[in-house]
Structure 1
Amino acid sequence: MTTLVTGATGNTGRHVVAELIRRGERVRALTRNPSAAKGKLPPSAELTAGTHTAPADLADAFEGISRLHITVTAGLAEAGPELVRRAVDAGVRRITVVWGGFVGPVEQAVTDSGVEWTRLEPQEFMSNTLTWIESIRAEGIVREPYDFPSALVHEADIGAVAAAALLDDGHAAHAYNLTGPEVLTTRERLAILSQAIGRDVTFLPITHEQAVDRLISDGVSRTDAEYVVDWYASSSKDSKTVVDTVERVTGRPARTFADWVAEHADRFKSPPESTVAP
């Protein structure tokens, strides 16, 4: 059988691809630019051009597919239900979906699809830490509006749970809340990161509006920017409560933030100063 993974080179998609292949599944990886995706995914992944926001163009991508993984992203709310319908019409019988933070049109379409489905509801991704790279490398400073507690989850654990739900029985009609094994504040994350890179990183608070404006300057709509910063300001109980879903589904403990940092520490280190020959 073959599984189609949308957003195959994204934060979670690439881990879904890798875990499925590790378990012996054939994978068709949907990506806007297959040439650019080479080297980012396992060599055995079948790369196919396309985007899940244009489902009318995916007839070839759906050919011979029995399972589908969807990551809800910006712009999918309108196209998502059609994507699900076309997938089911093409013969897909099991779907996993990484939600967009709430049950919206795509998530509901998956639930109503008439096939086996599993919804993954991860809390904050550990990869959000990557947004700090530039300020840490340049100044050793992280500017955020809130020192909030978060049960961060490793993207590879999301991928592992998705693969289990796609390949193993017993996960149909489940909504899985996914967290890491610990709750950490921003300052606690920075302490772990500082130790790993051998450099003190300072937390510098900014205002709520400054955080919103920063996201807008990065191209995020005001509505989405306010949603994100509001979430940090008053995060839900689920976002700061550890659950053991990863271990129950995969049979091994969830990865820690220290594990994630060990994998990415070099990206936060300042490049060596260039030297000029005398």
Structure 2
Amino acid sequence: MSKILVTGATGNVGSHVVSQLAGAGLEVRAFARRPERVRAAVEVVQGDLYEPETLEPALKDVESVFLLWPGFTTGNAAEVVAAVARHARRVVYLSALGGDGAPSHYAEIEELIRRSGLGWTFLRPGGFAANTLGWAGQIRQGVVRWPYGEASRALIHERDIASVAVHVLTSAGHNGAAYALTGPEELTQAEQARVIGEATGRAVRWEEQPVEEARERLMAAWGEPAFVEGALTTWESFVTRPERATDTVERLLGRPALTFRQWAEDHAADFA
């Protein structure tokens, strides 16, 4: 099997993709802004997808690419996809649930890839369990104050996303597929906070935060009104229309998806 290029190689998902491919003895090249943060013993090329000229050297002798776009707008994604198409034969793109629905950068990049001539597979995960790391400071205090405690999602362990990516990159039969990936269970945000508390040995309670207060806090942190409103609208929607669990991870990997409790136990030190 020819070389596999992994972009976003130091991120929550990409780092696991690199380590799992390397652990299987496959030829891997990691593409990263900060090469020193690549943990596996693999070839590393320093670069940034926002600077497409840095991608060209990384694509030499590459057959397959794991593509993780680093932003929330398409930017120069057309140039990146074109560069990949000049060198590689197939791409596994980390998109998102709903990536083919309402207009978004995910949908736009999926369309760029469809038109590129590359063989492709889209991975469309739902909510990342790792997003709850944003509660770490509050977990330490024993109270999570956040809006929409009854919003229910089937959060997925980043290791499962990586395992699916590796499976798709190293086996046949996935060309043209779009896989909806979730964890195996649906939990409300309040339940997620409780499970994290149990995994870390703390009693953690939920305190409902008024939406307007949350909006002000998120604006101060993110500074992007459209992104803040999109996040709040999404959380609100999961109160009445929960994100449903899929069995895709189990079907592809032949084992159950990792539970949120397993994720919380794996990350207990991050909440210490």
1:48 aligns with 2:45: yes
> Does 2:58 align with 1:61?
yes
Q: 1:30 to 1:220 in 2, by over 3 A?
A: farther
Structure 2 matches for 1:186-265, cutoff 5 A?
Answer: 186-235=189-238, 240-265=243-268
Contact 2:148 2:239 in 1 (8 A): no
Tell me, what secondary structure is at the counterpart of 2:62?
coil
Structure-1-length-normalised TM-score? 0.89
> Is contact 1:124-1:239 (8 Å) kept?
no
**Residue number in structure 2 paired with 1:78:** 75
Q: Distance in 1 between matches of 2:192 and 2:173?
A: 35
Match of 1:274 in 2: none
- The change in CA–CA distance for 1:254 and 1:153 in structure 2 (over 3 A counts) is same
SS in 1 for 2:19: helix
User: What is the rounded CA distance, in whole Å, between the counterparts of 1:187 and 1:171 in structure 2?
Assistant: 37
List runs of 5+ in structure 2 lacking aligned partners.
Answer: 101-106
How big is the shift at 1:239? 5.8
1:63-97 per-residue CA deviation (whole Å, 9 max, x = no partner) reads 1111111113325502112111111112x111011
Q: 1:141 aligns with which of 130, 140, 143?
A: 143
Aligned Cα root-mean-square deviation (Å)? 1.8
- Correspondence for 1:88: 85
| Gap change, CA 1:239 and 1:24, over 3 Å in 2 | farther
Counterpart residue type for residue 227 of structure 1 = G
**Is contact 1:6-1:30 (8 Å) kept?**
yes
Q: Distance in 2 between matches of 1:46 and 1:229?
A: 40
Tell me by how many angstroms 1:100 deviates.
Answer: 4.7
CA–CA separation in structure 2 for the residues paired with 1:250 and 1:56: 36
- SS, match of residue 74 in structure 1: coil
Q: State the match for 1:22 in structure 2.
A: 23
- CA 20–125 in structure 1, closer or farther in 2 if over 3 Å, else same: same
Larger deviation, residues 166-175 vs 55-64: 55-64
CA distance 1:236–1:210, change in 2 (3 Å) = closer
Are the equivalent residues in 2 in contact too, given 1:76–1:106 (CA < 8 A)? Answer: no
For 1:125 and 1:153, the matched residues in 2 are separated by 5
Residues in 2 aligned to 1:226 and 1:28: alpha-carbon distance in whole angstroms: 37
1:227 and 1:58 map into 2 onto residues whose CA distance is 31
Count of aligned residue pairs for this structure pair: 263
Distance in 1, matches of 2:220 and 2:26, equals: 41
Shift of 1:48: 1.1
Q: Give the aligned residue type for 2:148.
A: Y
CA separation of 1:256 and 1:229: change in aligned 2, threshold 3 A: same
Q: Counterpart of 1:97?
A: 93
What percentage of residue pairs aligned between the two structures are identical? 35
Which residue does 1:276 correspond to in 2?
none
Structure 2 counterpart SS, 1:4: strand
- TM-score (ref. length: structure 2): 0.91
Task: Choose 93-102 or 1-10, whichever is displaced more.
Answer: 93-102
